[in-house]
Amino acid sequence: MTPGYADLILSALRRRPERTAFRFTGDDGTKHTWTYGETAERIERTAAAFGRLGLMPGNGLALLCGPNPQAFTVMAAACLAGLRYTALHPLATADTDRTVLCDSASDYLVVDDTRFAARARPDGTKAITLAELDRIAADTHPGPNDPRGPALYLFYTGGTTGEPKGVMLRDRSLLANAWACSTWAWPPDTRFLITTPMSHAAGLLVAPGLLHGAGFELHPSFDADRVIDAIEHDGVSATFVVPTMLYTLLDHPRLPAADLSGLNWVLYGAAPAAPARLAQAQRLLGPVLSQHYGQAEAPNALTVLDPAQHRDDPNVLGSCGRPMPGVEIALLDPHGRHVPAGEPGELCVRGPLVMDGYWNKPEQTAIALDGGWLHTGDVAREDDTGLITIIDRIKDTIITGGFNVYPREVEDTLATHPAVAASAVYGTPDPHWGEAVTATVVLRPGQQATPADLTDHVRAHKGALWTPKLLHLADSLPLTALGKIDKKTLRNQP
């Protein structure tokens, strides 16, 4: 059998058996360290334990796990054993679990019942606790009859616009992701802090990190104080953040005086970031920013803007960089024709990174992969230097008075006002305009501005068409389980 994703992981771990792979704190407050060698042994023993449970290649396994290395080792063991693997989101609900478990046809759920007791006994799916799986694995020696097969990772989308869809990532896509992400500017001896769920983008950063000999520090959630402490005192040199987390860190009162000399890489993505806020981050954090763009259907590695490419130019900071090696990107109009340089078009991609399709959803797969391209649903422009800028999601485009308004353009303009911490712009029904440009804005701590101040700012810097007709001030913006701004909730608010 051709070596797959799990074989790549095991190879990387065996090259440096004494190096530290993971550091984390248990539920009892005890600090733990796993070496590369120990992590490799756990993966192989866990794959063997799946055989003892009666699981065979092609069977389905789901995992519900908190912020510990088992979120990685169980996934890697499932890929090694040829199981159909699904991660349940730690911040989801029991109802969502049932939907995903049913859709994925999972035969077993492995669950951390110390953290998720209320979700540990789903109807219709066998369940085993993480502790019990560990006990079986510790008593199981890998052997020639252990289950082995090709990987199938069902990566479920957020489901904010409907039922979650299982994105099928096989060894081809997972290997392409690992190798592509390994070409990023990983600093030497990286100690990478993960504060976001390893069931999503952060988990796919581990394999390329292992190829570089990186170690991973795991926190239970994002907390700006703890992040600063980890940089100042625990040797953390790199981390991944979504824009809302970056903004929280930038506005934290401790940051200006913090010793950030050990921080040399901040990877950000998952949603567009305002150029004004990225310029602020450059000033406060130094030349450490690196952006990646992808989506569940082609994870993490479609484009990149490395630290050396970040400069104080709104056109650069507003972009998502240039295509990654091995990825072909085209901007197409609704008829599948290439748009001229500088004109907006749907960002479409093809290459080994792209998913096989949606699990048991042939019609939606055909739409997403129409014409041999993955249609991302993102509207983008490409300039004459190859820089690609994501303008917005097609579904988020506001049609007001017959004109298209892309919310991100308004959000970036609002971000240049000194009082604005974050904003969300979206369309709401309007009897005259069809849709009204509407904004919800969070102000920075200690700053003041009225809705009229902010609409005047947009009118002066962008124009009347982009000026919100409704603008609300709020203490915070609703977020999805992935830390993205939840515009669906905002649209439905009275």
**Domain ranges (residues) in the chain:** 5-175, 222-394, 397-492
Taking only the tens place, the pLDDT of each residue in 436-479 is 999 999 999 999 999 999 999 999 999 999 999 999 999 999 98
Res. 371: pLDDT tops 80: yes
Sign of CA dihedral 225, 226, 232, 233: positive
Measured CA distances, 416 to 136, 373, 451, 454, 483 (Å): 56, 36, 15, 10, 22
pLDDT of residue 424: 96
pLDDT of residue 315: 92
Rounded Cα–Cα distance for residues 202 and 6 (Å): 17
Taking only the tens place, the pLDDT of each residue in 301-340 is 999 999 999 998 999 999 999 999 889 999 999 999 999 9
**Residue 481's pLDDT band (cuts 50, 70, 90):** confident
pLDDT of residue 73: 97
Taking only the tens place, the pLDDT of each residue in 260-305 is 999 999 999 988 899 999 999 999 999 999 999 999 999 999 999 9
Q: Which of 3-7, 89-93, 158-162, 167-171 has the lowest mean pLDDT?
A: 158-162
**Residue 162's pLDDT band (cuts 50, 70, 90):** low
pLDDT of residue 29: 84
Contact 380, 347 (CB under 8 A): yes
Q: Which of 53-57, 158-162, 394-398, 489-493 has the lowest mean pLDDT?
A: 158-162
pLDDT of residue 356: 97
The amino acid sitting at 96 is: T
**Residue 124's pLDDT band (cuts 50, 70, 90):** confident
One fold for 5-175 and 397-492: no
Architecture per CATH, domain 5-175, reads as 3-Layer(aba) Sandwich (3.40)
- Say if pTM beats, i.e. exceeds, 0.85: yes
Q: Which residue has the higher pLDDT, 15 or 396?
A: 15
Rounded Cα–Cα distance for residues 267 and 471 (Å): 31
Rounded Cα–Cα distance for residues 63 and 204 (Å): 15
Give the CATH H-level superfamily of domain 222-394.
ANL, N-terminal domain (3.40.50.12780)
pLDDT of residue 160: 44
> What rounded mean pLDDT belongs to the chain?
93
To the question of domain 397-492 being in CATH 3.40.50.720, the answer is no
Over range 229-244, report the average pLDDT: 95
Rounded Cα–Cα distance for residues 290 and 253 (Å): 24
Rounded Cα–Cα distance for residues 454 and 467 (Å): 9
